[in-house]
A and B are shown apart, each in its own frame.
Chain A
Amino acid sequence: MQLPGVTTVCFAASYALALGLELVQVLWPRQALRLIALLCGGAGLLAQTLFLLVQVPRLGLESPAGSILLIAWILAIFYLYGAIHHRQFAWAIFVLPLVLGLIGVATLAPVDDPSDTTWGDLLTNLRGEKFWGLIHGGLLLLSAVGVCVGFVASVMYLWQAHRLKAKVPPRQGIQLLSLERLEAMNRRAIVLAFPLLTAGVFLGAILLVQRSAQLRGWTDPRIMGACLLWLVFAILLYLRYGYHLRGRRIAQWTIAAFLLLLVTLASTHTTVQGGSP
């Protein structure tokens, strides 16, 4: 994962510093600290963008490291957007640990020898099965982002509900968005992620059937994982809209879906090295 100039350490350190400053800000509230944290976060995002511009064609979008780093990058944008738009809330404390965790997982993920592929090569060879593979990967990636956003919103929801249950004074400790807003954020993330996941899984199934030689039958972990994830999502949506489950329960279910996503990612990438879907 080394690249002259910009490495994963650069942006991970920037995000970690931003997180540290935000934590200090909770104990010692100073607007200047939040501003510096924001600048650190912005610097981290810039470094990660530069890193991905160089590394994505070499690692491949379908590689575990490449895809996880892309998810982390989208979440870093989500962090920066939230930190700017909701300056009085401790947005970073909930989003940045996830970003850092994903970067950590990407660093530990197995990496094939990086090729010398450039963006030009990547785009030139983008036809036929490769093109559909990319669409499939992109759909799954965006649905994963949706799950991650839902996860963050759910954790924040549980935290806020805990504060309310304990009747913590509103201006004390970590400030968060209202329960209503967090629930809406969770709902939107899942509602948007589900069709993306459905389309991604469907496309993946077609691609697998075409490459049936590579398939280990229906017990293939990639199929099992994707189907299980889809099923959990479907249950999640049913619970929300059919069973009218809401509040703390739905937040807990979203966290479970996120954990399942992690397990699915880990199992597909450890049992089958690389390859899409």
Chain B
Amino acid sequence: MILGLVGCSYRTAPVELRERLAFDSGRLEAALAEISARYGCEVVILSTCNRVELYLARLSGPGRFDIELFTEFLAEFHQVRVAELRPHMYEHHQHDAVRHLFRVVAGLDSMILGEGQIAGQVKRAYEVAQKLATVGPLLHTLFQHARFVAKRVRSETGIAQGHISVSAAAVDYVRQVFDHFDDKIVLVIGAGKMGEMTLRHLRLLKPQQIWVTNRSPEKAEAVARGCGGIPIPWEKLDDALVQADIVLSTTGASEPIVTLERYRPICDRRSRTLVVLDIAVPRDFDPRIHDGDRTCLFNIDDLKHIREQTLHERLRHVPAAESIVEHEQRRYWKEWARKRHGPIIARLTQDFESKRQAVERQLYQRLKHLLNGQLTETVWAEIRGALRLYQNQCLHGPISALAEEGPGTSQHTLLEALRKLFRLHE
């Protein structure tokens, strides 16, 4: 099998170039059909915001793919000058190509280490190619194996653990305080863009009510409409703080809106724990109100700190993930060799088996004659066992050589040699 990939990623190409090389769904299908027809090979195109890669495979042919041809194709297809494109392109062949795909699908080559989105993107790229019949048995096996690798890496290492987004981290903190949310009130202060994603995450918790307050009643109304909440007058902020359970603050105020002095009487009137997610910059709440018991305040730095810690934690799992990728890469080629050489090995074994059985029959007749019927079942079983062992030992060498031989032209030589040596005809 000849396998190759050509492409560029955030590591090698600036975003301006990646944007120009990106395939939208219509152009993706056209490109797949064009490559498959023009070069007579299997092809999958992986096009995301961080990478554009062409995975190519064919059963036999000259040594390796001429990557220059595909670079020219990309340049022509996207109307980019080849000279402009070439310095940013990378190529991988055979083992390296498989290793690269497995690393990509496991999130090891992602901008955010261990992110899970890429596995879905690889799956979709494969499905599009499958729909257009530009994948055959070669890339089918490879991409199925890649899916397995992604699952294995995610489940056996901590590479995908923890949250990278600030909003998901905020929800994680909230869950440390509250157990259920159907009796909780979420109070949104302000209408900052930063808060939108966090509010979306908080809404997934299905709180009893969402209250929205803003200095501008119109803005409060607009945000409340967007999230199915209730607008609250700005003047009633203190009362709302007494009743709320979770506060999401995203105002653009230049001074803290809730100082320690303002918060003390509010806290005295409260009977439950209050979680404040202050993602405004500058901060809306005085950090001194945080006590980890009655009031839990988390600001943007705390939430970003989680992101950094998560990434740091994920880095620890890279060696384990790389080791899985390496192991699976070897296993992929072994399985491929087994599948590819299965008929030859079966033919070889069958040939040896029938020859052994013929020898056994002859030997049995001769021994029976020589020993005048004194040949016992036990002795005959021993002899048969020894012949079978000899057969297995004879076959072990050639079969192992086939399995161990990597992909490439030399394998065909070995295969031919075996066919000629043992006079095997498929």
- Chain A residues engaging chain B, CB cutoff 8 angstroms: 29, 160-167, 169-172, 176-181, 184, 244, 246-248
Among A163, A169, A171, which residue has the most Cβ atoms of chain B within 10 A? A169
Task: List chain B residues, Cβ under 8 A from A164.
Answer: 173, 176-177, 292-293, 296
> Whole-angstrom distance between the alpha carbons of A246 and B274 in the complex?
13
Task: List chain B residues, Cβ under 8 A from A184.
Answer: 179
Q: Is the CB of A160 within 8 A of B302?
A: no
> Whole-angstrom distance between the alpha carbons of A171 and B313 in the complex?
10
Q: Which of B273, B292, B298 contacts A180 (CB 8 A)?
A: B273
Q: Determine chain A's interface SS by DSSP, over half rule.
A: loop
Task: Look across to chain B and name the residue whose beta carbon is closest to the beta carbon of A177.
Answer: B179
Show 21 residue pairs from A and B whose CB-CB distance is below 8 angstroms, ordered by the A residue: A160-B176, A164-B176, A165-B293, A167-B298, A169-B310, A170-B169, A170-B175, A171-B161, A171-B162, A172-B309, A172-B313, A176-B176, A178-B177, A179-B177, A179-B293, A180-B179, A180-B180, A246-B271, A247-B293, A247-B294, A248-B293
Smallest CB–CB gap between A176 and chain B, Å? 8
> Whole-angstrom distance between the alpha carbons of A246 and B179 in the complex?
17
> Whole-angstrom distance between the alpha carbons of A170 and B178 in the complex?
13
> Whole-angstrom distance between the alpha carbons of A165 and B177 in the complex?
11
Residues of B305-331 whose CB lies within 8 A of A: 305-306, 309-310, 313
> Whole-angstrom distance between the alpha carbons of A181 and B175 in the complex?
10
Smallest CB–CB gap between B114 and chain A, Å? 13
- Chain B residues engaging chain A, CB cutoff 8 angstroms: 158, 161-163, 169, 172-173, 175-180, 271, 273, 290-294, 296, 298, 302, 305-306, 309-310, 313
Task: List chain A residues, Cβ under 8 A from B292.
Answer: 161-166
> Whole-angstrom distance between the alpha carbons of A181 and B178 in the complex?
7
Q: Is the CB of B306 within 8 A of A169?
A: yes
Q: Is the CB of A169 within 8 A of B309?
A: yes
> Whole-angstrom distance between the alpha carbons of A106 and B232 in the complex?
60
List 15 additional contacts besides A160-B176, A167-B302, A247-B294; criterion CB under 8 Å.
A29-B158, A162-B292, A167-B305, A169-B162, A170-B169, A170-B173, A170-B306, A178-B175, A179-B177, A179-B293, A180-B273, A181-B179, A246-B271, A247-B273, A247-B293
Q: Is the CB of B290 within 8 A of A165?
A: yes
Among A160, A163, A180, which residue has the most Cβ atoms of chain B within 10 A? A180
Smallest CB–CB gap between A186 and chain B, Å? 13
Smallest CB–CB gap between B296 and chain A, Å? 5
Task: List chain B residues, Cβ under 8 A from A177.
Answer: 179
